[in-house]
Amino acid sequence: MFTKLMLFWATALCAPADPSPHPVRSDLPSKTAIELADRTVARFGEASIATLGELVTYDTFSRAGIANAEHASFKAMSARLKEIASEFGLEFEDHGAVVVIALGQGPERLGVVTHGDVQPADPTKWAASPFILDQTSEPGRLVGRGTEDDKGPIVNALYAMRAIAEAGLPLKRRIELIVSYTEESDWDPFREFLAANPPPPLNVAFDASYPVVIAEKGWCSIEVGMQLQAPDSDRPGLLHFGGGFFLSQVPEDASAQISNATPELESKLMAAARAIEDVRFGFFPSSTGLSITARGISAHSSSPQEGRNGITHLAQLLGCVEWPSSTAAHMLRFINDMIGTGYYAEKFGDVAYADDFMGPLTISLGKLEERDGKLWAGINLRRPVGRSKAQVQESIDSALTEWSRSTGIEIEHTSSVGEPHPPVEAPHVNVLLDTFRHYTGMEDAEPIAIGGGTHARMVPAGVNFGPQMPGVPYSGHSEHEFVERSQYLLDLRMFTSLLVDLAVDMDSQPQQD
């Protein structure tokens, strides 16, 4: 009930996002949509998987020092998308950091927002290369970087558009598949594209969760640095502590180096490790004394509860020892004092708060790295509505200042506080809900909010429709990205049905039974 009230509240406050004369349908999928969706899966299901296999081979992740649009992998993917568009009878526009593939010349426009860039991947953690579509190591699954986020949705949108084109259905809305190449790294190129190319007034993104996402939390980042200092003691000391790669991932890996380690210390740590669930620890002799590794479970940092943070759980383990002064020991204390193994910033001063619809603020320690003579902790917060940017900033600054004062440990810090995307009115929400309910049987499905941030918030009436199913952990930012084969084909069916009911001129269709 609260969701319905929130949707009503958003509708009452927002001006109509699509001032077109054509109403947006709000009943179950039309007969035309259902029939074409069935034919599309039967005819193109296997072909779409093969095309997904092609796109997965392009390692389209951001590299330092070169714009994505200038990298050979992105250029090659654009060239292939141009070929596919031509084969499918679709238009193609290359804007460098964005490509647009379009169908039809209806009097109105419908945007389908996706992205072709992916997260980096560690090949050693995959059964096959992350940039090969692996259909054999886990039968029934399509494993590979981008299968869920976001190349699978791109391919399904392409085949849905092909099916509509080949069926010769008249359109009331031109369909524009918008593929961003910087969603995972830098949103400025997409902003520049939108400034020069006004987007459609009605948009649906295939880059988050079902049934329909109408609100997104705000991205916040914090960096805490400490000057490097080695332990100055003959006792066992903490020389090194690190892990993680980027803020949008819950890191599964972490490591520590201990000097002057004793058999008694190792036994104590190994006993403590056995009490920590769902994290694997390794103990290895090293040139400095003892090396400890942690392997948790990676996840998207917008849903830290779906992962098992290797850094924070290694900190929990190491916290059973009183270490002599060193940078690594000070950082260990900071992590255990201020973050812990929780997800909602309960320890971080007065930072924690929640919204009834959007849920609680979440925290994820994404990386711990030595840089420029300092040890830096990179922290990601996802915040809901309910507090102003100034209030959140003040709570962060106060918490860090108080911790430094109370411990006597000097730190430096920087932070950036982003705005949440509150619930929006989108006139096509009911059509998305009806489509999802029809094909899944989840009759109680309602709009939701997510912790992640997507390009949907940057376009008019932008909402998300899939591909993550309710109650299923998101694999897109993990080192085990996959989509179930059956789910992938269900996505193709729902995407096709949805595009028919949003874009096809039903007034020109034969009367339904």
Q: What is the pLDDT of residue 52?
A: 98
Q: What is the pLDDT of residue 254?
A: 98
What is the mean predicted confidence (pLDDT) over 450-459? 94
For residue range 348-403, list pLDDT tens digits in order. Answer: 999 999 999 999 999 999 999 999 999 999 999 999 999 999 999 999 999 999 99
* pLDDT band for position 86 (cuts 50, 70, 90): very high
* pLDDT band for position 474 (cuts 50, 70, 90): confident
Task: Tell me if residue 296 falls in helix, strand or coil.
Answer: coil
Q: What is the pLDDT of residue 473?
A: 86
Backbone angles phi, psi at 241, to 5 degrees: -150, 120
Where do the domains of the chain lie, and which CATH numbers do they carry?
2-13+35-217+422-507 (3.40.630.10), 218-417 (3.30.70.360)
Q: Is the pLDDT of residue 241 over 90?
A: yes
By DSSP bridging, strand 448-450 and strand 280-285 are unpaired
Please name which of 200, 5, 4 lies closest in space to residue 106, comparing C-alpha atoms: 200
Lookup: tokens for 130? 């992350």
Mean pLDDT of the chain: 92
Q: What is the pLDDT of residue 20?
A: 36
Q: What is the pLDDT of residue 510?
A: 54
- Contact 278/263 with Cβ under 8 angstroms? no
Q: What is the pLDDT of residue 286?
A: 86
* pLDDT band for position 288 (cuts 50, 70, 90): confident
* Chain center to CA of 279: 23
Distance CA 379, CA 309 (A): 12
Q: Is the pLDDT of residue 4 over 60?
A: no
Q: What is the pLDDT of residue 10?
A: 35
Q: What is the pLDDT of residue 21?
A: 37
Q: Is the pLDDT of residue 513 over 90?
A: no
Residue 355 backbone zone (phi > 0: left; psi -120 to 50: alpha; other: beta): beta
CA distance from start to end of the chain: 33
For residue range 249-269, list pLDDT tens digits in order. Answer: 999 999 999 999 999 999 999
Q: What is the pLDDT of residue 34?
A: 97
Please name which of 413, 365, 361 lies closest in space to residue 387, comparing C-alpha atoms: 361
Q: What is the pLDDT of residue 233?
A: 80
Q: What is the pLDDT of residue 331?
A: 98
Lowest mean pLDDT among 36-50, 117-131, 497-511: 497-511
Report angle CA 363, 365, 368 to the nearest 5 degrees. Answer: 165
Please name which of 8, 5, 29, 32 lies closest in space to residue 437, comparing C-alpha atoms: 29
The one-letter code for the residue type at 433 is L
- Tell me what percent of the residues of the chain surpass a pLDDT of 70: 94
- In sequence order, the 6+-apart residues with CB closer than 8 A to the CB of 267 are none
Distance CA 57, CA 94 (A): 20
Other CB atoms within a 10 A radius of the CB of residue 157 amount to 26
* Chain center to CA of 287: 39
Q: What is the pLDDT of residue 24?
A: 53
* pLDDT band for position 71 (cuts 50, 70, 90): very high
Q: Is the pLDDT of residue 215 over 80?
A: yes
Lowest mean pLDDT among 154-163, 257-266, 281-290, 330-339: 281-290
Q: Is the pLDDT of residue 3 over 90?
A: no
- Contact 348/363 with Cβ under 8 angstroms? yes
Lookup: tokens for 277? 């669930």
Lowest mean pLDDT among 76-80, 209-213, 223-227, 244-248: 244-248
Return the CA Rg of the chain. 25
Q: What is the pLDDT of residue 509?
A: 62
- In sequence order, the 6+-apart residues with CB closer than 8 A to the CB of 225 are 374, 375, 376, 377, 411, 412, 413
For residue range 180-194, list pLDDT tens digits in order. Answer: 999 999 999 999 999
- Contact 284/261 with Cβ under 8 angstroms? no
Q: What is the pLDDT of residue 506?
A: 84
Q: What is the pLDDT of residue 189?
A: 97
For residue range 336-363, list pLDDT tens digits in order. Answer: 999 999 999 999 999 999 999 999 999 9
- Contact 330/410 with Cβ under 8 angstroms? no
